[in-house]
Amino acid sequence: MSDQQPVQLRVAMAQVDTRVGDLAGNADLVVRWAAEASAAGAQLVVFPEMTLTGYPPEDLALRESFARASEQSLVDLAGRLAADGLGALAVVVGYLAHTEGSGPAPVDEPPTDDDRPSDANPRRGAPRNAAALLHGGEVVARYYKRHLPNYGVFDEARYFVPGTDLPVVRLHGVDVALTICEDLWVEGGPCGVAGEAGVDLVVSPNASPYERAKDDLRLPLVRRRAAEARAAILYCNQVGGQDELVFDGDSMAVSPTGELLARAPQFVEHLLTVDLRLDPSAVPERREGRVGPMTVTRHVVSDEPVPPYEPRPASIAEPLSDCEEVWRALVLGLRDFIDKNGMPSVVLGLSGGIDSAVCAALAVDALGADRVHGVGLPSTWSSEHSLADAEDLARRTGLHYSVVPIAPMVDSFHGAAELTGVAAENLQARVRGTLLMGLSNQHGHLLLTTGNKSEVAVGYSTLYGDSAGGFAPIKDVPKTLVWELARWRNTHARGRGETEPIPQNSIDKPPSAELAPGQVDSDSLPSYDLLDAVITDYVDRDLGLAELLERGHDAEVVARVLRLVDAAEFKRRQSAPGTKISLKAFGRDRRLPITNRWRETLPTVREGAAQ
């Protein structure tokens, strides 16, 4: 192929927000964005991982009826695109496939007859995390994800059977290899096979959840895989919230030499187009059949290159600051949870403190002030400034605000049963929770719980009190970051000539649950700077006691924090979901047994061993 001239191809990545289980709605989304790609002059458009089903489908993937419906939706989509005049556009779309066979096959070997269903192995089909290339009303090629992540929030080995084939589709003289998400993270995986087989372009539909600074990892990763594949790479990532997860987009195109050609903005739906200029003569050999651990299949749509045209400049989105990135992740996660579940509005208790203030500001940014209802619930021990700060927040944000004093209700409980100490303090929180849940039921609001990661970690919340609610917007946000976000949000508003949403007094005053006279959090917890540092290392990084001490944490603080964290597991198991932003969030990301005798201790040095 040394006599071939460079060829051009205009490609697009449709960074879209899908909904799990909504096959019809997601198909509509594909058609709409494919039409935009076609109008932009693209010959190829790539959608995210499992676009038709939404990601992650979790145990829906095990339901054969859902998998069959997904397969049918794919075929119907191919015909619909052609009927709408989009048949000339190549569309790569993710879906849930259902194939014959059962049980995960080893990733270094093709399936054998032993993988077929039998009386001893009655599973009737194998679910696959799949992507297909659609063109001319037909499903031209199907690819089954090879590397199935099974760590952190991922459970793909539970659901899917890995693929063994690597389809390569020739489109306008360009050989395009299909991969999916985790395949890109594995050195020597499908990208390595593509490099040995000889391709010009690798497309990678993704559903890569957001966590802080993850965008810093993606570009170096894609560059490494481009070098391995010796081909350009299109990395198209999902955007939007799905229960605890939020996807930030950040789609990109990288040349075979690692040059960043285009990059999409984070946290918004976006069509990213880029004009590629590829040199087929740079690929010395194009192979099919068995290549390394996979079987390469080749499919031809068109050999004829696109006629030469004037390329358009591509866009490269500027990265967000850390606080803006986190804020936008939390806003999107909350908005999609409410809207995708068809909830009209939210309600939350406003104490005048920093946590409820930040949650309220997030809710207003996510839903608009008219869909947010705040309630002041003063008790005997509430300070005057607490109610004043809550009212100030309501004025600044424009949310609905009402006040319901709880002291008479608390007194009635005390008249029926004698409660003292912590039980009496927690009663106030439970009365608040009961009232808020009642208002939620009465008006159809979803109750937001306002606890942060530091409190959730150490169990600093009251079951069926301040922990009550359907969604926890800052559940994965450490207290120190809550303050940072509040300051950033006010600075951001000031820079735009807008009213700062969060009262300065809510930021400056010492945090308190106000369940007893003069109570502040520091009465029962280490300072939040020390607490959050230990939580980050113990929870997010899974470090043991010895490693924590080696990192310089105070021994007394470590012992105290670990004891609190370990004892609070039963509370966390009952807590509301909240948007994940950290390396490891409580919930699906960190799963420990409630009944658990293990406690961290310093390792015992055996007698005579080296010290």
Spatial distance between the Cα atoms of 407 and 414, rounded to a whole number of angstroms: 11
Helix (H) or strand (E) holding 396: helix 384-397
Spatial distance between the Cα atoms of 512 and 519, rounded to a whole number of angstroms: 6
Spatial distance between the Cα atoms of 354 and 402, rounded to a whole number of angstroms: 19
The residues near 527 (Cβ < 8 Å, ≥ 6 apart) are none
Spatial distance between the Cα atoms of 293 and 303, rounded to a whole number of angstroms: 28
Count CA atoms closer than 13 A to 52's CA, side-chain side.
27
Spatial distance between the Cα atoms of 391 and 376, rounded to a whole number of angstroms: 8
Point out the catalytic residue in the list 71, 156, 181, 580. Answer: 181
> Annotated catalytic, 323?
no
Spatial distance between the Cα atoms of 509 and 378, rounded to a whole number of angstroms: 17
Spatial distance between the Cα atoms of 219 and 259, rounded to a whole number of angstroms: 10
- Measured CA angle at 175 (ends 226, 252), to 5 deg: 40
Contact in structure between 333 and 359 (CB atoms under 8 Å)? no
The residues near 7 (Cβ < 8 Å, ≥ 6 apart) are 172, 173, 174, 277, 278, 279, 280, 305, 306
Point out the catalytic residue in the list 36, 58, 138, 145. Answer: 145
Q: Would you give the DSSP letter of residue 68?
A: H
Any alpha helices (H) in 93-214, and if so which ranges?
A: 156-159, 190-197
> Annotated catalytic, 145?
yes
> Annotated catalytic, 584?
no
Strands of 51-122 (E only): list them.
90-99
Residues taking part in catalysis: 49, 145, 181
